[in-house]
């Protein structure tokens, strides 16, 4: 559970990101009231100034409910083979004065034993309620049982204090919404407002970098940069997959689950050392990043370094971002006291450029 449940995108949406592009689970009853033909269904409403003036305790100015495939996530770094889920319902609300919606997702089913009749209840993780639903005689969706702490952790009132809780929670009149049926594209456009796609990022790394493809990314920092970053130890850095890493994946990797099991190597030259230090990492896809744990395959370290992790993400215009949050690069002895805990230098985040493979040669 995060501080705001499944709100936003990127790492805050890790759980639902895994569901991108999946169909409803085979054993999930289809709610024909919401979608008579089985297609994705959208309902929404934008409240005008007159309504909001007449309901001063209603914070929600825009609300959309989507029954169907995940409208929030987009292609990410996680393997998609065999993914399936019963999550089928998503709500997005924009409160007065906000620039973007908040959202939550869960699953909706009939409350009867056979799952085919009775009231429709929508649940969330942690045994919480997303909403209750019914469709009126005009085909409008009536959304009730919306909790003030929809986007907050259970127990948030005690944690935040009453004043801050009241500020973040939904209003006292934010319930019993009457939403009109709308085209599915309308809901998708609304959910797209949550975290607009940056075209400059391009495709995810798992598409840009193929299992059988060598690559080399790096950066050499000049004197001017190092002079303006006195706490940066790294003088030169390379991230690559060469013949050794390719052979390792070819022998034991599963291309269908790429990039899980992909080995990468990182070479670093520091201000203090004239030679390179190279460390191998084993990666797996996790939402919009590769999470890579240090490996003993090419290491002289005597301690257990498997908890030393770095993270790779796509950057703008074909670059790669490397995050080193926990002193996990071989810029210092990974077994030393200095390598424990958070990275405190300027060696936290690197923007690396694509380079010819020869630039990463041993």
Phi, psi of 176 (to 5 degrees): 55, 50
pLDDT value for 187: 96
Whether 45 and 179 have beta carbons less than 8 Å apart is answered as: yes
Condensed to tens digits (0 to 9), the pLDDT of residues 47-59 reads 999 999 999 999 9
**Which band of pLDDT confidence, cut at 50, 70 and 90, is reported for residue 22?**
very low
Is 8 a residue whose pLDDT tops 70?
A: no
299: preceding bond cis by omega (within 30 degrees): no
Residues pairing with 164 in the sheet = none
Alpha-carbon span 147 to 93, nearest angstrom: 13
Instruction: Please tell me the distance from the alpha carbon of residue 290 to that of residue 286, in angstroms, as a whole number.
Output: 6
- Of 53-67, 202-216, 304-318, the range with the lowest mean pLDDT is 304-318
Query: Which residue, 90, 69, 53, 55, is CA-closest to 20?
Result: 69
Residues 168-175: what's their mean pLDDT? 95
pLDDT recorded at residue 222: 95
Taking the C-alpha atoms of residue 74 and residue 187, their distance in angstroms, rounded to an integer, is 15
User: For position 75, what pLDDT does the model report?
Assistant: 79
Highest mean pLDDT among 31-35, 125-129, 218-222: 218-222
CA distances from 61 to 100, 101, 304, 347, 357 (A): 11, 10, 53, 43, 53
Asked if residue 27 has pLDDT above 70, the reply is no
Judge whether residue 125 has pLDDT over 70: yes
**Range of weakest confidence among 68-77, 110-119, 241-250, 313-322:** 110-119
| Average pLDDT of the residues of the chain | 85
Place 30 in a pLDDT band, splitting at 50, 70 and 90. confident
The pLDDT value given to residue 301: 60
Q: Which residues partner with 220 through β-bridges?
A: 236
Q: Is the entire prediction scored with pTM above 0.75?
A: no
User: 117 falls in which pLDDT band (50, 70, 90)?
Assistant: confident
User: Residue 217 — left, alpha, or beta (φ > 0 → left; ψ -120 to 50 → alpha)?
Assistant: beta
Confidence of residue 304 (pLDDT cuts 50, 70, 90): low
The torsion of the CA quartet 167, 169, 175, 179, rounded to 10 degrees, works out to: 90
Cα Rg of the chain, angstroms:
24
> Dihedral (C-alpha) 32, 34, 39, 40: value to the nearest 10 degrees?
-150
Cβ atoms of residues 68 and 92 within 8 Å: no
Span 308-352, pLDDT tens digits: 899 999 999 999 999 998 888 888 766 666 656 677 789 999 999
Q: Residue 150: pLDDT above 50? A: yes
Which one has a higher pLDDT value, 74 or 274?
Answer: 74
H-only helix segments in the chain: 14-17, 49-54, 156-160, 162-168, 184-192, 205-208, 223-228, 243-252
Is residue 210 predicted with pLDDT exceeding 70?
yes
Question: Higher pLDDT residue, 289 or 154?
Answer: 289
Rounded CA gap, 262 and 205, in Å? 12
Query: What SS3 class is residue 205?
Result: helix
CA distance 280 to 298: 6
Inform me whether the pLDDT recorded for 232 exceeds 80: yes
Among the residue ranges 68-82, 113-127, 275-289, 334-348, the one predicted with the least confidence is 334-348
């Amino acid at each position: 559970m995060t501080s705001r449940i499944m709100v936003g995108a990127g790492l805050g949406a890790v759980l639902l990101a895994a569901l991108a592009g999946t169909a409803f689970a085979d054993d999930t009853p289809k709610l024909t009231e919401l979608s008579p033909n089985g297609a994705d269904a959208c309902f929404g409403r934008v409240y005008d100034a007159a309504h909001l003036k007449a309901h001063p305790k209603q914070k929600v100015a825009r609300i959309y409910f989507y029954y169907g495939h995940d409208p929030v996530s987009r292609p990410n770094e996680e393997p998609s083979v065999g993914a399936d889920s019963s999550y089928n319902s998503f709500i997005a609300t924009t409160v007065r004065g906000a620039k973007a919606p908040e959202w939550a997702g869960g699953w909706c089913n009939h409350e009867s034993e056979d799952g085919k009749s009775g009231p429709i209840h929508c649940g969330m993780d942690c045994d919480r309620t997303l909403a209750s639903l019914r469709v009126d005689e005009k085909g409008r969706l009536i959304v009730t049982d919306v909790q003030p702490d929809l986007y907050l952790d259970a127990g948030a009132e005690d944690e935040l204090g009453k004043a801050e809780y009241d500020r973040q929670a939904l209003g006292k009149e934010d319930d019993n919404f009457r939403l009109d049926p709308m085209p599915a594209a309308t809901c998708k456009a609304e959910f797209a407002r949550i975290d607009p796609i940056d075209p400059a990022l391009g495709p995810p790394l798992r598409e840009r970098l193929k299992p059988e493809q060598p690559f080399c990314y790096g950066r050499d920092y000049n004197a001017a940069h190092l002079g303006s970053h006195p706490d940066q130890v790294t003088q030169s850095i390379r991230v690559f997959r060469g013949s050794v890493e390719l052979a390792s994946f070819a022998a034991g990797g599963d291309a269908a689950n790429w990039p899980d099991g992909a080995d990468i190597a990182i070479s670093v030259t520091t201000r203090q050392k004239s030679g390179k230090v190279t460390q191998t990492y084993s990666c797996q896809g996790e939402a919009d990043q590769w999470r890579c744990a240090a490996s003993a395959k090419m290491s002289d370290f005597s301690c257990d370094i498997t908890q030393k992790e770095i993270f790779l993400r796509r950057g703008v215009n074909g670059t790669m971002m490397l995050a080193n949050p926990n002193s996990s690069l071989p810029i210092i002895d990974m077994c030393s006291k200095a390598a424990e805990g958070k990275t405190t230098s300027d060696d936290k985040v690197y923007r690396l450029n694509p380079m010819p493979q020869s630039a990463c040669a041993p």
